[in-house]
Amino acid sequence: MCLIVVGWRVHPDFPLVVAANRDEFYARPTALADFWVDVPDIIAGRDLEAGGTWLGISRGGRFAAVTNVREPGAGKGRHSRGRLTQNFLAGRQGPEEYLRRLDPDDYSGFNLLLGDGDALWYFSNRGTGPEVLEPGIYGLSNHLLDSPWPKLLTARQGFARALGDLPDRSSLFRVLADDEIVADTELPATGIPLEWERRLSAIFVHSAAYGTRASTVVTRTTAGDICLEERSYGPNGQPIQSSLISTGV
């Protein structure tokens, strides 16, 4: 389970701004965000179990992020969803061409955001076809784009306010650190036990075995300079380490 908020061409100096939480089991092996040794253009964290990534950007401004669709009991796809982002970041196809050539049945339910600096696209294999996004602020969790889940509405509102503080990223990280549990009357019904519906209703999720593993803020300036800052966490939300990667002068 994850949460991603994207500001696309809404800030005069930063046409791309991303604030995201990756939620996963703490035991799943993961590499902190950095330049990839085998594909040096990619800046991303890495899932060391399946080899892909949940979110990344290239030196040239190719951006990709994926979340799963919460559908308990659904069958598992042939390929890891982390391939969707990795293959785009390492490739040369534009977002539209890449999405048109995908076989969506190869994967479990996913939401995918792809950008190349000129356009930002969204596609879910549980929704309609690919769509190009107009300038705006978009939110994505484990349902379709801009589904009105309380955590997503709160995150989008906080993100919009925090944009004014850039280049200071601390306000965006405060949005991602919100661990308030939503009232039962506001919870979505996604087929999981109530205890977990409550726990996952927070923007920042934590427990002994599962929670927010990484909070990431990505910015790209009008000049093409990229900054990716990531903060990683362990069981019960304890901070572990952080990294800051920048391609600017």
Q: How far is CA 22 from the centre of its chain?
A: 7
Q: Strands of the chain (E only): list them.
A: 2-8, 16-25, 30-35, 42-47, 55-58, 63-68, 110-115, 120-124, 131-132, 136-140, 210-220, 226-233, 239-246
Instruction: Report the alpha-carbon distance of residue 221 to residue 136 in Å, rounded.
Output: 16
SS3 91: coil
Architecture of domain 2-246: 4-Layer Sandwich (3.60)
Residue 220 CA, distance from chain mean position: 15
In total, the chain counts a number of residues equal to 249
Burial class (CB in 10 A: 0-12, 13-18, 19+), 117: middle
Residue 42 CA to residue 44 CA, distance in Å, equals: 6
Handedness of CA 111, 22, 197, 133 (dihedral sign): negative
Sequence-ordered list of residues with C-beta below 8 angstroms from that of 182, at least 6 positions apart, any chain = 150, 151, 198, 201, 202
The pTM of this model reads 0.95
Pull the structure tokens for residue 126: 């549980």
pLDDT in tens, the chain (249 residues): 589 999 999 999 999 999 999 999 999 999 999 999 999 999 999 999 988 999 999 999 999 999 999 888 777 888 999 999 999 999 999 999 999 999 999 999 999 999 999 999 999 999 888 999 999 999 999 999 999 999 999 999 999 999 999 999 999 999 999 999 999 999 988 888 999 999 999 999 999 999 999 999 999 999 999 999 999 999 999 999 999 999 975
- Confidence at residue 161, expressed as pLDDT on a 0 to 100 scale: 98
Tell me, what DSSP letter sits at residue 20?
A: E
Q: Which residue has the tokens 């040096």?
A: 40
CA distance 161 to 207: 29
CA atoms within 13 A on the CB side of 246: 5
Contact between residue 66 and residue 82 where contact means Cβ atoms under 8 Å apart = yes
Residue ranges of the domains in the chain? 2-246
